[in-house]
Structure 1
Amino acid sequence: MTDMSSKDPQQITAFELVGGEVRVRELVDRFYDLMELEAEFTALRAMHPPTFDETRDKLFWFLCSWLGGPDHYVNRFGHPRLRARHLPYAIASTDRDQWVRCMAMAMEDVDLPEGLRVRLHHSFLETADCMRNRPD
Protein backbone atom coordinates (compact mmCIF):
# COMPACT_ATOMS: atom_id res chain seq x y z
CA MET A 1 0.00 0.00 0.00
CA THR A 2 2.80 2.43 0.82
CA ASP A 3 6.02 2.70 -1.18
CA MET A 4 8.53 3.43 1.56
CA SER A 5 11.36 4.17 -0.90
CA SER A 6 9.66 7.30 -2.21
CA LYS A 7 7.91 8.32 1.00
CA ASP A 8 8.03 11.97 1.95
CA PRO A 9 9.21 12.13 5.59
CA GLN A 10 6.39 14.61 6.27
CA GLN A 11 3.72 12.30 4.81
CA ILE A 12 1.54 10.49 7.32
CA THR A 13 1.29 6.78 6.54
CA ALA A 14 -1.81 4.61 6.72
CA PHE A 15 0.01 2.77 9.52
CA GLU A 16 0.05 5.98 11.56
CA LEU A 17 -3.55 6.81 10.64
CA VAL A 18 -4.67 3.36 11.81
CA GLY A 19 -2.91 3.94 15.13
CA GLY A 20 0.30 1.93 14.92
CA GLU A 21 1.02 -1.62 15.96
CA VAL A 22 -1.52 -1.79 18.79
CA ARG A 23 -4.38 -0.87 16.46
CA VAL A 24 -3.13 -3.09 13.62
CA ARG A 25 -3.11 -5.99 16.09
CA GLU A 26 -6.68 -5.12 17.15
CA LEU A 27 -7.76 -5.10 13.50
CA VAL A 28 -6.12 -8.46 12.76
CA ASP A 29 -7.53 -10.07 15.89
CA ARG A 30 -11.03 -8.81 15.16
CA PHE A 31 -10.75 -10.00 11.54
CA TYR A 32 -9.94 -13.57 12.62
CA ASP A 33 -12.46 -13.49 15.46
CA LEU A 34 -15.19 -12.56 12.97
CA MET A 35 -14.06 -15.32 10.64
CA GLU A 36 -14.63 -17.82 13.43
CA LEU A 37 -17.85 -16.30 14.76
CA GLU A 38 -19.88 -15.32 11.71
CA ALA A 39 -21.64 -18.00 9.65
CA GLU A 40 -21.24 -15.96 6.46
CA PHE A 41 -17.47 -16.62 6.63
CA THR A 42 -17.66 -20.41 7.00
CA ALA A 43 -16.11 -21.09 3.59
CA LEU A 44 -13.35 -18.55 4.22
CA ARG A 45 -12.64 -20.10 7.63
CA ALA A 46 -12.37 -23.54 6.04
CA MET A 47 -9.49 -22.33 3.85
CA HIS A 48 -7.36 -21.63 6.93
CA PRO A 49 -5.47 -23.85 9.39
CA PRO A 50 -7.27 -25.24 12.45
CA THR A 51 -5.82 -22.54 14.70
CA PHE A 52 -5.06 -18.94 13.85
CA ASP A 53 -2.05 -18.35 16.12
CA GLU A 54 0.60 -18.23 13.38
CA THR A 55 -1.85 -16.84 10.83
CA ARG A 56 -2.71 -13.87 13.06
CA ASP A 57 0.97 -13.04 13.50
CA LYS A 58 1.72 -13.28 9.79
CA LEU A 59 -1.13 -10.97 8.80
CA PHE A 60 -0.16 -8.54 11.57
CA TRP A 61 3.47 -8.48 10.43
CA PHE A 62 2.42 -8.10 6.79
CA LEU A 63 -0.11 -5.32 7.43
CA CYS A 64 2.35 -3.31 9.49
CA SER A 65 4.60 -3.04 6.45
CA TRP A 66 1.81 -2.82 3.86
CA LEU A 67 0.37 0.15 5.73
CA GLY A 68 3.74 1.90 5.81
CA GLY A 69 5.06 0.82 9.20
CA PRO A 70 7.85 -1.54 10.30
CA ASP A 71 8.94 -4.34 7.95
CA HIS A 72 8.27 -7.16 10.40
CA TYR A 73 7.14 -9.60 7.70
CA VAL A 74 10.01 -8.93 5.29
CA ASN A 75 12.56 -9.19 8.10
CA ARG A 76 11.24 -12.64 8.98
CA PHE A 77 10.28 -14.15 5.62
CA GLY A 78 11.60 -11.95 2.83
CA HIS A 79 9.41 -10.43 0.14
CA PRO A 80 5.73 -11.26 0.74
CA ARG A 81 5.15 -12.68 -2.79
CA LEU A 82 1.42 -12.64 -2.00
CA ARG A 83 0.22 -14.20 -5.22
CA ALA A 84 2.74 -17.04 -5.04
CA ARG A 85 1.98 -17.71 -1.37
CA HIS A 86 -1.74 -17.93 -2.12
CA LEU A 87 -1.50 -20.18 -5.21
CA PRO A 88 -1.93 -23.40 -3.19
CA TYR A 89 -5.43 -22.21 -2.24
CA ALA A 90 -8.28 -22.19 -4.76
CA ILE A 91 -9.52 -18.60 -4.52
CA ALA A 92 -12.56 -17.45 -6.51
CA SER A 93 -14.42 -14.15 -6.49
CA THR A 94 -16.72 -15.36 -3.73
CA ASP A 95 -13.70 -16.13 -1.52
CA ARG A 96 -12.22 -12.72 -2.29
CA ASP A 97 -15.53 -11.08 -1.43
CA GLN A 98 -15.78 -12.94 1.89
CA TRP A 99 -12.24 -11.88 2.83
CA VAL A 100 -12.92 -8.25 1.95
CA ARG A 101 -16.30 -8.27 3.74
CA CYS A 102 -14.73 -9.76 6.87
CA MET A 103 -11.98 -7.11 6.82
CA ALA A 104 -14.57 -4.35 6.28
CA MET A 105 -16.50 -5.56 9.32
CA ALA A 106 -13.29 -5.72 11.37
CA MET A 107 -12.33 -2.16 10.38
CA GLU A 108 -15.76 -0.95 11.43
CA ASP A 109 -15.71 -2.93 14.68
CA VAL A 110 -12.35 -1.47 15.75
CA ASP A 111 -13.76 1.95 14.89
CA LEU A 112 -11.37 3.13 12.20
CA PRO A 113 -12.48 6.51 10.85
CA GLU A 114 -14.85 6.20 7.89
CA GLY A 115 -12.57 7.95 5.39
CA LEU A 116 -9.69 5.65 6.30
CA ARG A 117 -11.96 2.60 6.08
CA VAL A 118 -13.01 3.61 2.56
CA ARG A 119 -9.41 4.10 1.47
CA LEU A 120 -8.27 0.80 3.00
CA HIS A 121 -11.31 -1.06 1.67
CA HIS A 122 -10.38 -0.05 -1.87
CA SER A 123 -6.75 -1.13 -1.36
CA PHE A 124 -7.76 -4.42 0.28
CA LEU A 125 -10.14 -5.15 -2.60
CA GLU A 126 -7.45 -4.51 -5.22
CA THR A 127 -4.96 -6.72 -3.39
CA ALA A 128 -7.48 -9.49 -2.71
CA ASP A 129 -8.58 -9.44 -6.33
CA CYS A 130 -5.02 -10.29 -7.38
CA MET A 131 -5.18 -13.45 -5.24
CA ARG A 132 -8.00 -14.97 -7.33
CA ASN A 133 -6.70 -18.05 -9.14
CA ARG A 134 -9.76 -20.03 -10.20
CA PRO A 135 -12.80 -19.31 -12.30
CA ASP A 136 -15.94 -18.15 -10.56
Structure 2
Amino acid sequence: MRRAGFIFFAATLVGLSACGSDDAGGGESGSATQVVELAATDFAFRADARITIEAGDTVEFRVRNEGAVEHQMEVLTDASRRLGMTGRIAPGSSDTVVATFDQPGVYLVICDIDDHRSLGQQAEFEVIGT
Protein backbone atom coordinates (compact mmCIF):
# COMPACT_ATOMS: atom_id res chain seq x y z
CA MET A 1 0.00 0.00 0.00
CA ARG A 2 1.18 3.51 -0.58
CA ARG A 3 0.65 6.36 1.79
CA ALA A 4 -0.33 9.74 0.55
CA GLY A 5 -2.22 12.45 2.34
CA PHE A 6 -5.68 11.01 2.61
CA ILE A 7 -7.46 9.23 -0.06
CA PHE A 8 -5.56 7.54 -2.76
CA PHE A 9 -7.11 4.45 -3.60
CA ALA A 10 -6.03 1.67 -5.72
CA ALA A 11 -3.40 1.52 -3.01
CA THR A 12 -4.14 3.42 0.16
CA LEU A 13 -5.15 6.53 2.02
CA VAL A 14 -3.52 8.64 4.63
CA GLY A 15 -4.86 11.13 7.09
CA LEU A 16 -8.16 9.87 8.44
CA SER A 17 -9.62 8.97 11.79
CA ALA A 18 -13.20 8.45 12.56
CA CYS A 19 -16.17 8.53 14.79
CA GLY A 20 -19.37 9.31 13.05
CA SER A 21 -22.77 8.37 11.81
CA ASP A 22 -23.96 4.95 10.73
CA ASP A 23 -26.29 6.56 8.18
CA ALA A 24 -26.24 4.91 4.78
CA GLY A 25 -25.72 7.25 1.87
CA GLY A 26 -26.25 10.97 1.67
CA GLY A 27 -25.41 13.39 4.39
CA GLU A 28 -25.41 17.05 5.15
CA SER A 29 -22.87 18.63 2.84
CA GLY A 30 -23.38 21.98 4.58
CA SER A 31 -21.79 20.55 7.72
CA ALA A 32 -18.73 19.10 5.98
CA THR A 33 -15.37 20.78 6.59
CA GLN A 34 -14.03 19.25 3.39
CA VAL A 35 -15.13 17.35 0.31
CA VAL A 36 -13.18 14.36 -0.96
CA GLU A 37 -13.86 13.10 -4.48
CA LEU A 38 -13.15 9.43 -5.15
CA ALA A 39 -13.48 7.09 -8.09
CA ALA A 40 -14.52 3.48 -7.66
CA THR A 41 -13.07 1.27 -10.38
CA ASP A 42 -12.91 -2.47 -10.95
CA PHE A 43 -11.52 -3.16 -8.21
CA ALA A 44 -9.92 -0.19 -6.45
CA PHE A 45 -10.55 3.31 -5.16
CA ARG A 46 -8.71 6.34 -6.49
CA ALA A 47 -8.41 10.02 -5.57
CA ASP A 48 -7.09 12.65 -7.94
CA ALA A 49 -5.37 14.66 -5.22
CA ARG A 50 -3.50 14.18 -1.98
CA ILE A 51 -5.80 14.90 0.94
CA THR A 52 -5.11 15.43 4.61
CA ILE A 53 -7.79 14.73 7.21
CA GLU A 54 -7.36 15.94 10.77
CA ALA A 55 -9.16 14.76 13.88
CA GLY A 56 -12.35 16.82 14.19
CA ASP A 57 -12.93 17.09 10.44
CA THR A 58 -16.28 16.18 8.91
CA VAL A 59 -15.72 14.86 5.40
CA GLU A 60 -18.20 14.50 2.57
CA PHE A 61 -17.02 11.67 0.34
CA ARG A 62 -18.31 11.96 -3.24
CA VAL A 63 -17.87 8.58 -4.87
CA ARG A 64 -18.30 8.12 -8.63
CA ASN A 65 -18.38 4.68 -10.20
CA GLU A 66 -15.95 4.59 -13.12
CA GLY A 67 -16.10 0.79 -13.33
CA ALA A 68 -18.20 -1.64 -15.32
CA VAL A 69 -20.04 -3.16 -12.33
CA GLU A 70 -21.91 -1.82 -9.29
CA HIS A 71 -19.83 -0.60 -6.35
CA GLN A 72 -20.42 1.00 -2.97
CA MET A 73 -18.16 2.44 -0.28
CA GLU A 74 -18.09 1.95 3.47
CA VAL A 75 -15.97 3.94 5.92
CA LEU A 76 -14.78 1.69 8.78
CA THR A 77 -12.80 2.13 11.99
CA ASP A 78 -9.87 -0.20 12.73
CA ALA A 79 -12.36 -2.27 14.77
CA SER A 80 -14.60 -2.61 11.67
CA ARG A 81 -17.26 -0.26 13.06
CA ARG A 82 -19.13 1.32 10.15
CA LEU A 83 -19.07 5.12 10.23
CA GLY A 84 -21.09 5.49 7.05
CA MET A 85 -21.72 4.03 3.64
CA THR A 86 -23.05 4.85 0.23
CA GLY A 87 -25.80 2.90 -1.44
CA ARG A 88 -25.08 0.70 -4.46
CA ILE A 89 -23.66 2.86 -7.23
CA ALA A 90 -24.36 1.88 -10.84
CA PRO A 91 -21.63 2.36 -13.46
CA GLY A 92 -21.45 6.04 -14.41
CA SER A 93 -23.38 7.15 -11.30
CA SER A 94 -22.28 8.64 -7.97
CA ASP A 95 -23.31 8.83 -4.31
CA THR A 96 -22.10 10.60 -1.18
CA VAL A 97 -21.50 9.75 2.45
CA VAL A 98 -20.54 12.09 5.31
CA ALA A 99 -18.35 10.98 8.23
CA THR A 100 -16.89 12.88 11.17
CA PHE A 101 -13.44 11.87 12.38
CA ASP A 102 -13.10 12.72 16.07
CA GLN A 103 -9.96 10.73 16.87
CA PRO A 104 -6.63 10.22 15.13
CA GLY A 105 -6.09 6.68 13.92
CA VAL A 106 -6.11 4.25 11.03
CA TYR A 107 -9.33 3.61 9.08
CA LEU A 108 -10.51 1.77 5.97
CA VAL A 109 -12.74 2.38 3.01
CA ILE A 110 -14.04 -0.78 1.36
CA CYS A 111 -16.48 -2.03 -1.24
CA ASP A 112 -18.47 -4.82 0.38
CA ILE A 113 -20.38 -6.02 -2.69
CA ASP A 114 -19.78 -9.69 -3.55
CA ASP A 115 -16.02 -10.39 -3.43
CA HIS A 116 -14.85 -6.86 -4.35
CA ARG A 117 -12.95 -6.39 -1.08
CA SER A 118 -11.05 -9.66 -1.52
CA LEU A 119 -10.20 -8.53 -5.07
CA GLY A 120 -8.44 -5.49 -3.57
CA GLN A 121 -11.15 -2.84 -3.42
CA GLN A 122 -10.16 -1.38 -0.09
CA ALA A 123 -7.83 1.35 1.11
CA GLU A 124 -6.33 2.15 4.49
CA PHE A 125 -5.92 5.74 5.62
CA GLU A 126 -4.91 7.65 8.71
CA VAL A 127 -6.46 10.65 10.43
CA ILE A 128 -3.86 12.84 12.01
CA GLY A 129 -4.11 14.65 15.34
CA THR A 130 -4.48 18.41 15.52
Answer whether TM exceeds 0.5 for this pair: no
> Over alpha carbons, which structure has the higher Rg?
1
TM-score computed with the length of structure 1 as normaliser: 0.28
Larger relative contact order, structure 1 or 2 (CA cutoff 8 Å, min sep 6): 2
TM-score (norm 2): 0.29
Structure with more of its chain in strand, by fraction: 2
Higher helix share: 1
